[in-house]
Chain A
């Protein structure tokens, strides 16, 4: 069974640009969550999607957005990039069996903003 796949793995952008990150969940998993990981801040929750609907959102500005497609694949977009957006962006999928919250993570997309 393939794991969670995130693309691209690494990218470099400049301030003011926008970026789109992609996540393919484990087959059969319908919930996709996104997290921002930075040193000293740990994992900050961005949002969670289920069946193409955003069900939960963290405390990030509107520049951060996402969506989920009918095949459960998800994308997140960050517009008007700032230096502070440099981070590892993690995607995690879950099958919600029993609503336990167990997450399966991808390797992440490391974004550097110059």
Chain B
């Protein structure tokens, strides 16, 4: 069964600090990878996604993530965080298997950015 591990459950940073959130998954086949974000009081929305091709993907608001197949990792990065980045971040994996879909999420990382 596929699983997703997020290593940091609660991260506190000052504005302008750099961010890296770890994500590892366990699945041996082809995967699609996602990062979702949930801002306070809002619904989950897609931050970025990897399907194929360039393993470095860029998302909204200056976020990027790098897919490292050999490490089964898909870490999220941002060079300089802002107070408005305070949110909960979820890594997710969709293991492609025909037409069946099951997207598995990590436990989430709460990011608090201090002005």
Contact = CB atoms under 8 A, between A and B. Distances in A.
Contacts, number: 72
A43 B101 contact: no
Given A42-B107, A43-B90, A45-B104, A102 B46 contact: yes
Nearest to A6: B43
B106 A42 contact: yes
Interface residues of B, number: 25
Contacts of A100: 32, 49, 51, 94
A70 B59 CA distance: 35
Interface of A: 3, 31, 33, 35, 40-43, 45, 48, 50, 55-56, 90, 92, 94, 96, 98-108
Interface of B: 32, 34, 36, 42-46, 49, 51, 90, 92, 94, 96, 98-108
